[in-house]
Amino acid sequence: MSHTEQSQVNATTAYTAPDRLELGVCYYPEQWPREKWAEDAARMVELGLEWVRIGEFSWALIEPQPGQFDWGWMDEAIDILGRAGLKVILGTPTAAPPKWLIDRHPDILAVGPDGHTRRFGARRHYCFSSRTYFQEAGRITRAFVERYGAHPFVKAWQTDNEYGDHDTIYSYSQEAHRAFRLWLAERYGSIDAMNEAWGTRFWSMRYRSFEEVDVPLQVVEEPSPTHLVDFVRFSSDQVVRFNRQQVEIIRAGSPGRPITHNFMSHNIDFDHFKLSADLDVASWDVYPMGGLINGRLSAEEKERLLRTGDLDQVAFNHDLYRATGRGRVWVMEQQPGPVNWAAHNQSPADGMVRLWTWLAYAHGVDMVAYFRWRQAPFAQEQFHAGLLLPDSTPDQAFHETAEVARERLLLPAGENKGKAPVALVMDYESRWASRALPQGRSYSASAICLDWYTALSRHGVDVDIVSQQSDLSGYRLVLCPDLLIMQEDFPERLKAAGAKALFGPRAGSKTVSMHIPGGLPPGPLRKLLDMKVTRVESLPSAAGEPVRFGNIAFAAGTWRESIETGETVLATFEGSYRPGMPALIGNGQARYLATIPSRELLESLLRDSLDWADVAWMPDLGDIRLSRRGNLTFAFNFGTEAADLPIPAGAEVLFGEARLSPCDVTVWRQ
């Protein structure tokens, strides 16, 4: 049995989902006077919270001098919280190594893409490739586990904190150079094999040995795309290796307690599926307001949704992390109000914290923890809201949390998220490939994928996010919006599952070595579709070349392919350039789309695909979103106007109204 398989077996046995939604909070006892701890713990329990996360930034206080530990305050905090009735999630403190450790071992620090060392003074100031830091991270994790591994109040563990925050996955240090060369030698075996994979005959880039290879930093033009993607693969593997050490230490010294990590949704710098294979529960940190400001929507849509956020970005990531966690997912940080780190930091509308909490549960989340208990009056996050104001007065989210705590008692216990009829494939290597070779400044695989998800959500269709390795049985329709690097066996597994499949442009367009497939794209997909792509082009948004689908001419998007095919042509390009060329082709099982569609074309295509796969859908829901968990249907209004809900006759409304107000929730049971 491989290490990953063993980790997954262990992970599966360490966590049992609760019967009902559980609530928690992030707390920093070290930031508040001791005399407030008991009062805070009692108020948490009174509010209806079960979990409390602590400790993830505590290293400098636990070990103020090298080898000298001060456990007293942590012992007392855990005891107070546990005796009050709270279950403690203890974080390993490796996201913020102390100053004395950096001064002793400056090789711990990462080097940024500008070539400068990223110094001490905030957090995440370490290089994943540093041998010294790997040892020190293991040492402090082992110390925590020896102290608290069997503690009756420590019920779960979180490794580190937010891998990738502040663009900290990639380091260009000497330690990274060393580790990258070793990784390449293991991957390729010989320098000749690497030269062939990287295409170094181009531009005279040939290497004589692995020792000559540098990380892709400050080159005159773009590096070889294979060089770049291999560096991302290497960096991802370094994160998995770093995290796995902590998991193994915790699992050995604190058996039976689930282990999680809190991912960041927008980060694609490492493979979240691979890292999650070693975890019991996947967690992620939910910040919809920043997600809107930094996200894909137009300025007009951002203005309209200013205080409610992107309707589908949060739900998509709930489904993604439910997939990485193999059905086990928590929210470790739920935004409770304005934050401090986005380009602009608006307040969410009143009611949205409650809505986001129920949205999480509807999408399969078992526990939602709010960040944070009390707003800090000092340091970098003074503008980041909490459940309490700095003077301990309840803020808006406190009251909304209390409402959720009461409402959950109105729902039946034991309702689990079932398999959706539609699966959407999310592949990290394909994201890295499109980032290395975007072939157009406006190309964004993340936005394309989320647009497909939105088109389904607008019609009330539940979606599962899956990886290429996932079991595809039971799905009626599988969507692959941006599957550039397709595994050789994926078409066969798809065919064996019996699902219909729709592929977006660029599917199968790159080999693992980032080359054009020998038989032309779509590479392995040619096992399902008689076609080949002979030309690709990226277009400015003003191009507006039409696509005729059915009897309607739709605007196409910013990507177009010329294809030759023996399959049925389902839509064609119109206009002055190569009119009549196929835009959508297919057969009884698979279809291929040769353009990035406009919103109107995408929705029409997906409605047609749902009918083709015999998946039920509803008329456009506008700003309403539906999600099902077991026999429960949840409705959410992200808009500014009340809307009537499609509640079936005979359904029992458990809470909420048939005419749903803005920022409100209704739940019914059939």
State how far the alpha carbon of 624 is from the alpha carbons of 324, 459, 634, in Å.
Answer: 27, 10, 10
Q: What's the confidence (pLDDT) of residue 11?
A: 53
Looking at domain 3-111+128-169+243-410, its CATH superfamily turns out to be: Glycosidases (3.20.20.80)
State residue 9's pLDDT score: 41
Q: State yes or no: pLDDT of 386 exceeds 50.
A: yes
Partner residues linked to 347 by β-bridges = none
Segment 433-451 shows an average pLDDT of 94
Q: What average pLDDT does this structure show over 372-378? A: 96
Structure tokens at 417: 């998220």
How far apart, in whole angstroms, are the C-alpha atoms of residue 195 and residue 188?
9
Q: Is 333 a catalytic residue?
A: yes
The pLDDT of residue 6: 43
The CA distances from residue 91 to 59, 74, 275, in Å, are 10, 12, 17
Buried b (16+ CB within 10 A) or exposed e, 113-133: eeeebbebeebbbbbbbbebb
Among 129, 123, 146, smallest CA distance to 56 is for: 123
Structure tokens belonging to residue 62: 């636990």
**CB neighbours of residue 256 within 10 Å:** 10
Average pLDDT (1-10) is 41
- Is the domain spanning 624-669 CATH 3.10.450.50? The answer is no
Looking at residue 14, its pLDDT comes to 74
| CA-wise closest residue to 75 among 34, 24, 25 | 34
**Of 630, 631, 601, 606, residue with least CA distance to 618:** 606
Q: Are 664 and 653 spatial neighbours (Cβ–Cβ below 8 Å)? A: no
Is the bond into 441 cis (omega within 30 degrees of 0)?
no
pLDDT digits (tens, 9 = 90+) for 555-566: 888 899 999 999
Distance CA 169, CA 629 (A): 35
Residues 541, 443 contacting (CB under 8 angstroms)? no
- Return the residue matching tokens 């400015």: 540
**pLDDT category, 545, cuts 50, 70, 90?**
confident
Cβ neighbour number for residue 146 with a 10 Å cutoff: 12
Residue 220 vs residue 528, higher pLDDT: 528
Residue with tokens 């919006």: 481
pTM reported for the whole predicted model? 0.96
Strands 87-91, 51-54: pairing is parallel
Q: What's at 653, amino acid-wise?
A: V
CA 126 to chain centre: 22
Is the pLDDT score of 534 beyond 90? Answer: yes
Integer CA distances (angstroms), 145 to 20, 65, 148, 262, in order: 29, 19, 5, 19
Q: Where are the domains of the chain?
A: 3-111+128-169+243-410, 422-612, 624-669
Q: What percent of the chain has pLDDT over 70?
A: 98
Instruction: Say whether pLDDT at 591 is over 90.
Output: yes
Predicted local distance difference test score (pLDDT) of residue 368: 98
Give the tokens for residue 308. Answer: 């409610």
Summarize the confidence of residues 329-337 as an average pLDDT.
98
Condensed to tens digits (0 to 9), the pLDDT of residues 275-324 reads 999 999 999 999 999 999 888 999 999 999 999 999 999 999 999 999 99
Residue 19 pLDDT level (bands cut at 50, 70, 90): very high
Q: Is 567 a catalytic residue?
A: no
pLDDT for residue 179 is more than 80: yes
Domain spanning 422-612 has what CATH number? 3.40.50.880
Partner residues linked to 637 by β-bridges: 624
- pLDDT at residue 1, rounded to an integer: 31
15-25 per-residue burial string, b: 16 or more CB within 10 A, e: under 16:
bebeebbbbbb
Q: Characterize 519-536 residue by residue with b for buried, 16 or more Cβ atoms within 10 angstroms of its Cβ, and e for exposed.
A: ebbbbbbbbbbebbbeeb
Instruction: Kindly name the residue from 22, 63, 333, 429 that is annotated as catalytic.
Output: 333
Residue 4: predicted pLDDT: 40
User: Average pLDDT in the 456-472 region?
Assistant: 97
Confidence of residue 460 (pLDDT cuts 50, 70, 90): very high
Contact 485, 512 (CB under 8 A): yes
Between these two residues, 218 and 523, which has the higher pLDDT value?
523
Point out the least confidently predicted range of 151-160, 533-542, 608-617. 533-542
Query: How confident is the model over 595-637, as pLDDT tens digits?
Result: 999 999 999 999 999 999 999 999 999 999 999 999 999 999 9
Size of the chain in residues: 670
- Judge contact between 511 and 485, C-beta under 8 A: yes
With a cut of 70, say whether residue 501 has pLDDT above it: yes
51-79 pLDDT per residue, tens: 999 999 999 999 999 999 999 999 999 99
Under the banding of pLDDT at 50, 70 and 90, the label for residue 594 is very high
Interatomic CA distance for residues 338 and 287, integer angstroms: 9
DSSP labels, 478-508: EEETT--B--TTHHHHHHHHT-EEEE-TTTT
Given a cut of 80, whether residue 581 has pLDDT beyond it is yes
pLDDT value at 2 more than 50? no
What is the average pLDDT value for the chain, to the nearest integer?
95
DSSP secondary-structure letter at 186?
Answer: H
Whole-number pLDDT of residue 575: 87
Tell me the three-class secondary structure of 62-120, residue by residue.
HCCECCECCCHHHHHHHHHHHHCCCEEEEECCCCCCCHHHHHHCHHHCCECCCCCECCC
Confidence of residue 13 (pLDDT cuts 50, 70, 90): low
Of 22, 162, 400, 407, which one is the catalytic site residue? 162
